[in-house]
Amino acid sequence: MTDDGNDPKQNDASLSSEGLPSGNLSDSSPSDSNLPDLVVVGAGLFGLTVAQQAAENGHTVEIIDVRSHIGGNAYSYFDKETGAEIHQYGAHLFHTSNKRVWDYVNRFTEFTDYQHRVYATHEGEVYPMPINLGTINQFFHAHYTPAEAKALIEQQAGELAGTDPTNLNDKGIQLIGRPLYEAFIKNYTGKQWQTDPAELPADIIKRLPVRFNYDNHYFKDTWEGLPKDGYTAWMERMIADPKIHVTLSTDFFDESQPLNKKALVGRVPVVYTGPVDKYFDYKLGDLKWRTVDFKERRYDEDDHFGCPVMNFVDADVPYTRAIEFKNFNPERRERQNPDKTVVWEEYSRSAGRDDEPYYPINTADDKQLYQQYKALAAKEPQVVFGGRLGTYAYYDMHQVINSALNAYDKQVGPLLVK
């Protein structure tokens, strides 16, 4: 095993946005005659979807992003040593039951038949996740039937059985009983969110399925898979239209370059997908986010964990999970190095202003603060706020795309009518 001690995000990005028109403009301020029909701030899935829809309807679009690549947190690249596709901002798994979204994404990529399964290590033993009959029987060294397991969970939920708690801690106990909750959820959640589970909304754990059979598929959606050629190739195809121009490594708030907030807002429709509190220079206070750090480990073996994702649910393990990227794409095995594998350990912590904001913490105070920012956003001339950062919401990829398609239909498209 090797560990270079470096931030893995510094690896060579061989699936970069090479070939896309980019580079800052040299004029101090764009003239009205040079303005595109639409400016999109942020080249993540929300911004790319809106840009694609606008170009398809005959409009010119300028996309700007402070990062050096397109794709937002779904960006990926191929690791030269192992041949694995690295998801630079953590594991991204596409799934949906929305036919409009499924038909839309299939315009730009084919998908593998990957079905996501997760395992968890607890006190030196590996269990299938999410919680299912196999997890329950293994944990209690029993052979419960589905009906017996349901009765056990209800008994262990105690006074919370049959209720609908609003915080994550009580909701977890109500869903799976106190012993399973404390073993598999409580400490993992504490590490993941850096917040007492009793202060987190119940909606977070409602996304976690609980099954009283032996089905350990993580998602229950109609369609699931990974893009055959990788995430970045998919997103490059989305904006392969001459009416779309991309400018990377460009800060929307930097007035020394022409594509800035002061020069554009009010003169051209803008879709903004960055943090909503940053847009308003944090004038009402900071919304709280969670960020993620990664530590890379390389092993001189073909397969280290035997699965793509291994959760570590105990409090004495500092990271929440380990991701072994080769195992997402078994169909690529012939093109991968059988003597090397790469694993990223994922560490969660609270985000500062200079960190990448991944997930909104969404306490009651945060929700109240966001509503104040939302009221300010509604007053911005010709600006549409979108994506998880722009709306302070937790979205899966299919939800981001769906919200972008709807935003184009209802908000952006009408702004482009001349």
Which positions ≥6 away from 242 have C-beta within 8 Å? none
**Annotation marks residue 396 as catalytic:** yes
Report which secondary-structure segment, H or E, holds 346: strand 341-350
Among candidate residues 231, 321, 324, 366, the one labeled active-site is: 321
User: Helix, strand or coil for residue 292?
Assistant: strand
**Annotation marks residue 277 as catalytic:** no
Cα(194)–Cα(169) distance, integer angstroms = 14
**Annotation marks residue 100 as catalytic:** no
Among candidate residues 144, 347, 358, 394, the one labeled active-site is: 394
Cβ–Cβ contacts within 10 Å for residue 161, how many? 13
Q: Tokens 């997908």, residue?
A: 273
Q: Would you tell me the crossing angle of helices 146-157 and 133-140 to the nearest 10 degrees? A: 70
Among candidate residues 211, 236, 299, 370, the one labeled active-site is: 211
Q: Would you tell me the crossing angle of helices 397-407 and 45-56 to the nearest 10 degrees? A: 40
**Annotation marks residue 178 as catalytic:** no
Cα(128)–Cα(349) distance, integer angstroms = 26
**Annotation marks residue 290 as catalytic:** yes
**Annotation marks residue 211 as catalytic:** yes
Among candidate residues 277, 290, 388, 392, the one labeled active-site is: 290
Among candidate residues 37, 236, 296, 346, the one labeled active-site is: 346
Cα(219)–Cα(27) distance, integer angstroms = 49
Is the dihedral angle over the CA atoms 17, 401, 9, 79 positive or is it negative?
negative
Among candidate residues 159, 207, 316, 354, the one labeled active-site is: 207
| Selection from 154, 193, 109, 96 nearest residue 401 by Cα | 96
User: Helix, strand or coil for residue 375?
Assistant: helix
Report which secondary-structure segment, H or E, holds 369: helix 364-377
Which residues in 194-211 are b (16+ Cβ under 10 Å) and which e? ebebeebbbebbeebbbb
Catalytic residues: 207, 211, 290, 321, 346, 394, 396
